Amino acid sequence: MSEAQAAPRMPDECGVPDPQQYMHPTLKKNYGAWDWHDRPRVGVLHHVAKSGDEVWTVKAGTQRQMDVHTIRKLCDIADEFADGHVRFTTRSNIEYIVADQSKVDPLIKKLEGEGFPVGGTGNSVSMISHTQGWLHCDIPATDASGVVKSLMDELYQEFTNEQMPNRVKITTSCCQINCGGQGDIAINIQHTKPPVINHDLVANVCERPAVVARCPVAAIRPALVNGKPSLEVDEKKCVCCGACYPPCPPMQINDAENSKLAIWVGGKHSSTRSKPSFHKLVVAGLPNTPPRWPEVSKTVMKILHAYKEDGRAWERMNEWIDRIGWPRFFELTGLPFTKYHIEDWRGGRNSLNASNHVHF
């Protein structure tokens, strides 16, 4: 075997970069050796290492999908008012890390002056995590960052204050495949009608076996339509998930009238205090009304208001609902309970993913 053949083949994908190279020197020095932490004010975390070193983390909200000018502005603030090190949380908050307490107040003043609210810690409503939406994904029935922006405008005070019973994590998803995950409140788009097939295009555009395989409920079959190879959908089986649309755009499912928003509550990824839980549907059929989605904002505010008023200290949304029960939840929020809240789809017993540890 030649020397070239014997050399191991190195992976060529880049993957996640090594975080150590970007880490604040104090974080790097005390990696894995922290003693305690507290929150001196909303939006600021204070960590003390076993070595006695201290760091302050200032958290600010951003609009998530940012233009290059905004990113440069945030980086300039890091260079001038912090120690030049930042990180983004999964909810698109930016965090500035400083090793000198005297830098905290001027940094907050600068961030707020530039329109970036400081908050999102403790029992606040943190930034809403959202899925890719129109920018990167091929299925969405609505924008994702637009819904977040209009809701966070309403929730500004809840981001900059810690007045909720416990932390509130809101997610949005622009289809029911729902890469947004579970949330205390989740705002998800639902397609409500099966796809409409443009049979003239299917043979030219779609790989039919791939489309058939994509359907989670086996509702798609190959068919000859007007003498051309195409597909047909068994509409009784179709759950309107939209999964067939990306591999086959002639199976159009987005619809201005019939793609609706739904609100789910009580989901939780973490194992803190209580085990993880699935969110449950509480409102369906809200209209998809960009650019401000007023019906969605109104409903979310009703739920948050009831939780804030009635939740006990440290109760997460799901724990609050478990304590008071669903009838009382609908009473307190003033939302109607309808027959559509009852899951009666028999196929779900066999095919629905029943673990909240696995996310699509």
Tell me the sheet residues that pair with 260.
190
Residues 196-225 that bind ligand SF4 (CB under 6 A): 214-215, 217, 219-220
- Asked if residue 173 lies in contact with residue 141, where contact means CB atoms within 8 angstroms, the answer is no
| DSSP assignments along 102-170, one per residue | GGHHHHHHHHHHTT--B---SSSB-PPEE--GGGT-S--SS-SHHHHHHHHHHTHHHHHS--SSS-B-E
Residues 13-42 that bind ligand SF4 (CB under 6 A): none
Of positions 98, 111, 118, 139, contacts ligand SF4 by CB under 6 A: 139
Neighbours of 244 (CB within 10 A): 27
CB of 329 to ligand SF4, least distance (A): 26
| Token pair of 9 as six digits | 């083949």
Taking CB under 6 A as the binding criterion, the range among 109-117, 235-243, 272-280, 323-331 that sits at the site for ligand SF4 is 235-243
* Polymer length of the chain: 360
Q: Tell me the residue type at 220.
A: I
CB of 95 to ligand SF4, least distance (A): 25
140 lies in the site for ligand SF4, by CB under 6 A: yes
Q: Compute φ and ψ for 88, nearest 5 degrees.
A: -105, 140
> Rounded distance, CA 57 to CA 339, Å?
47
Of positions 44, 58, 233, 332, contacts ligand SF4 by CB under 6 A: 233
Of positions 82, 127, 243, 262, contacts ligand SF4 by CB under 6 A: 243
Of positions 152, 170, 244, 300, contacts ligand SF4 by CB under 6 A: 244
Give me the 161-180 binding string for ligand SF4, x by CB under 6 A, dash otherwise.
------------xxx-xxxx
CB of 252 to ligand SF4, least distance (A): 11
Residues of this chain that bind ligand SF4 (CB under 6 A) = 131-133, 137, 139-140, 173-175, 177-180, 194-195, 214-215, 217, 219-220, 233, 238-244, 253
